[in-house]
Structure 1
């Protein structure tokens, strides 16, 4: 049984390669291989615990939103395996109104690496969804993109009663990913030959998510 990697000694990949969602793998309990033929390594939880800007998405729900961000942090860290506290925040694309919030708790899948089952809090407790990290990494910023490094992640969401399956691209920078990184990620997504439905979604529905800084704060 594959266990999600949760150690601090895992070095973030510097190249971009993605695995197909477990839905399209014959034995999802086995370590999946990526588009470059390497074994997929799960991101350490500590690496995931931060605020991410959603920069690109196939999901129609973000067409009328801007400044979509997701914050992961540990939920009851003394309880093993550690679950994530998940906070989604977004604004109306028009800029009117305040910040919308969706809160949930997600527990790791015992059989699939870097996968979680999300369940809403409060009135959304009846809602649930399954999602997985398809790829992640860090790479240096160059040229006009700035200095330092940019962290990126690609997530896949299984279909629910209310939504079709979808793909999001994350950046740890409020202003989003550099064009070079975003283009390489989208190219890698289109190379997921074992997941033709994902390729179709990316080719037909992947769009930029509107970013208009500064982010609004508060509910």
Structure 2
């Protein structure tokens, strides 16, 4: 979750999907850009604003799978450079009628590691409303009710007893577009697994996304 008023993603395949020409057999690179990248079983798609996921190779995680507390272990977002123990908790909000979709209660908790110009809240709460396969519109609670943002799941899975996810956040007036890596383990993600995830991100046909990961993906401090 990032507080936002601008919701246009800052990277993708380089061409919005609405303007792309039909894919022919001679356009293998373009076709690949519309599908998730896969490395050692790690399946990651580009942001859906720029590419239509291959429905046979990628699908959104079930809400029951996403529900729970996640540790943010790696991120390209500057907001986590001066924070530690970043945790995001999702709780399912059942629909009030059969015509509605379930939403998510969203709480981000963190601890500052350095002084900042403006005080940082230890907890940011909001509600996530579904917006496409794996996509969400976030709106803050309380004094943050006027704030909104967009985020989506790009990849998710399990390895042994560890669940992982990669999320993308659209650019906002406060932060640039960026990526987070989540782990279900409080102590953080395993070294081998994060290497596989980062390799899949760097191998993405979305050139801008791959470059962002190479230049800006950093470990988020976990210290209990």
Alignment TM class, shorter chain as reference: 0.7 to 0.9
Deviation at 1:20, TM superposition (A): 0.7
**What do residues 88-136 of structure 1 show as CA deviations (whole Å, max 9, x unaligned)?**
00001259x9970000001000xx2010000111111111111110010
Which runs of 4 or more aligned residues in structure 1 lie more than 4 Å from their structure 2 counterparts after TM superposition?
none
Deviation at 1:196, TM superposition (A): 1.7
Q: 1:198 to 1:83 in 2, by over 3 A?
A: same
**What do residues 166-211 of structure 1 show as CA deviations (whole Å, max 9, x unaligned)?**
0000000011111000000000001111x22211210111000000
Choose from 112, 122, 132 the match for 1:100. Answer: 122
The alignment covers a number of residue pairs equal to 180
Equivalence for 2:149: 129
In 2: Cα distance, 1:76 partner to 1:42 partner: 18
Equivalence for 2:173: 161
- 2:220 counterpart of 1:199: no
Structure 2, unmatched stretches of 5+, are: 1-39
- 2:35 counterpart of 1:15: no
Instruction: Describe how 1:41-120 pairs up with structure 2 within 5 A.
Output: 41-79=59-97, 80-93=100-113, 100-109=122-131, 112-120=132-140
Where relative contact order (Cα < 8 A, 6+ residues apart) is larger, the structure is 2
Equivalence for 2:16: none
SS of the aligned residue for 1:22 comes to: coil
CA contact (8 A) 1:51 1:72 kept: yes
Deviation at 1:15, TM superposition (A): 2.5
**What do residues 31-78 of structure 1 show as CA deviations (whole Å, max 9, x unaligned)?**
x139xxx52111000000000000000000000000000000012444
The TM-score with structure 2 as length reference comes to: 0.75
In 2: Cα distance, 1:163 partner to 1:99 partner: 16
Structure 1, unmatched stretches of 5+, are: 1-13, 141-148, 214-219
